[in-house]
Amino acid sequence: MPGSARILVVEDEAKIVDALRAYLGSAGYEVCAALDGESGLALFRETSPDLVVLDLMLPKISGERLCMEIRRSSRVPIVMLTARGGEDDKISGFAIGADDYVTKPFSPRELKARIESILRRSREGASPLFKTMSWNDGDLEIDVEARALRKRGEPVQVTPNEFKILSALVRCPNKTWTRDELIDSALGIDFDGYERTIDSHIKNLRGKIEDDTANPTYILTVRGVGYKFGGAETKR
């Protein structure tokens, strides 16, 4: 049983809200919903939900701003709803503090499965996606929540796009990314750069985080394919 977890849905499409209310409600969740960002924030403060399902394109306060606003005070799990190919897709949900995202159109069943697994992780205390992550014995650290990067304990300034690319890479440490996938996932499908833009971001990032850019240990080139993350996570 999912138990009595309370889920806040912030979404301006009434049809989606109705469907989620019915589906998640019948699965035993308590669902509350807001149709715009402003009332979403008010309802969040009022109800302290166990999980938030947040649409990115919202009237009044955008989903992106709402997500950041919530993250200022809370580590509540957030699942983003994004419309593929829309404005939404330009934003990397992870980079702004979401735990997961689901691309529209989605099935309520898929969303429910994501919600269950996130709630399970957060109950087991294993979820903290927003802790500081650290690699190679603390040589490189990311504070995802603060969007801060440190090399040997010293702050490293990166651009928002560099941060998004690195965030995408570290989230899937075993994945080899094509340039297309990185553009799509980190920068959004409407990003009007070409594949070479990724290469130049990677080059800049390497200059900031690698000891030897000719022999990188963090952002590895996979010949003929693209890139993958090579740092060894420091377990604490």
Tokens 């990185």, residue? 182
Tokens 């560099």, residue? 162
C-alpha distances in Å from residue 55, one per residue of 7, 136, 185, 188, 219: 14, 36, 17, 16, 31
Residue number with CB closer to Ca ion (63 or 77): 63
CB of 94 to Ca ion, least distance (A): 19
According to CB under 5 A, which one of 20, 29, 49, 55 is a site residue for Ca ion? 55
Residue number with CB closer to Ca ion (50 or 88): 88
Residue number with CB closer to Ca ion (53 or 140): 53
CB of 59 to Ca ion, least distance (A): 8
Stretch that binds Ca ion, among 19-27, 56-64, 104-112, 136-144 (CB under 5 A): 56-64
- Tell me the residue length of the chain: 236
CA–CA gap between residue 191 and residue 88 (Å, rounded): 11
Stretch that binds Ca ion, among 9-17, 156-164, 170-178, 183-191 (CB under 5 A): 9-17
- Sign, CA torsion 169/174/176/181: negative
Residue number with CB closer to Ca ion (57 or 78): 57
Stretch that binds Ca ion, among 4-12, 127-135, 162-170, 217-225 (CB under 5 A): 4-12
By CB under 5 A, tell whether 12 contacts Ca ion: yes
Residue number with CB closer to Ca ion (59 or 155): 59
Whether 40 and 7 have beta carbons less than 8 Å apart is answered as no
Structural tokens at position 25: 């409600």
Provide the edge-to-edge strand list for the sheet that holds 177-178.
Answer: 177-178, 226-229, 219-222
CB of 104 to Ca ion, least distance (A): 9
By CB under 5 A, tell whether 57 contacts Ca ion: yes
CA–CA gap between residue 68 and residue 233 (Å, rounded): 26
CB of 46 to Ca ion, least distance (A): 22
Per-residue mark of binding to Ca ion, 134-173 (x: CB under 5 A): ----------------------------------------
Count of positions on this chain that bind Ca ion (CB under 5 A): 3
Whether 198 and 225 have beta carbons less than 8 Å apart is answered as no
R_g of the chain computed on alpha carbons: 18
By CB under 5 A, tell whether 100 contacts Ca ion: no
Task: Give the DSSP letter of residue 174.
Answer: T
- Other CB atoms closer than 10 Å to residue 66's CB: what's the count? 26
CB of 78 to Ca ion, least distance (A): 15
Sites of contact with Ca ion (CB under 5 A): 12, 55, 57
